[in-house]
Amino acid sequence: MKCHALLLAAAGAVVITGCSSKPRNFAPVMVAPPADAKAYEAQWLACREQVAESAKTGSGRLASAAGGAAAGVGGAVAIGTSAGASAGMVGAMAAASATVILAPIAAIGGAWGISKIKKTKKEKAIKAATADCMAKSGYSVLKWRVMSKREVRELAPAPVPATPGPADGPK
């Protein structure tokens, strides 16, 4: 029985770590096509970089998973406890065994749900900040589309300014 509990706990930990709250990549769909495609793309990439720099506070993935798992387990234990308190001895044992069975499911479901909520909130904030940045340059965003992984890989990386090192100093 201890082996099964340990195996179940390990499987739950592996599944919970897969709950990502990392936002997806979006591309703006403009109200009108831009007159200068190169200038538009440069501005969009600059806005993306600006928003990414302002949001570098960490992904919060582990905190999201742990919080969701705690919420799920807490709910399962509360249900099992209340059922056990109101039932007789046999009913209490049945409720306890149901709690043991349902607790991992509730933990995984809680972690998944909370990570999805956090992901949606981050995506809305990123879209709003990017749309605001684009609007300051005269580009009006109509809607957003999710970018494929291939499109994200093909994006040109923002140029990194060279910082002079000790070897690059005055000679």
Q: Which of 153, 130, 122, 136 has its CA nearest to residue 60?
A: 122
- DSSP symbol at 132: H
Q: How many angstroms separate the CA atoms of 46 and 40, rounded?
A: 10
Q: What string of pLDDT tens digits covers the 171 residues of the chain?
A: 566 666 566 566 555 555 667 888 899 999 888 899 999 999 999 999 999 888 775 444 444 444 444 545 555 454 545 544 554 666 666 666 666 676 677 667 777 788 888 889 999 999 999 999 999 999 999 999 999 999 988 875 655 555 555 555 554
- State the pTM of this model: 0.55
Q: How many angstroms separate the CA atoms of 168 and 69, rounded?
A: 51
Q: Which residues contact 92 (CB under 8 A, 6 or more apart)?
A: 83, 84, 85
Structure tokens that stand for 5 in this block: 């509990």
Q: What are phi and psi of 141, to 5 degrees?
A: -85, 125
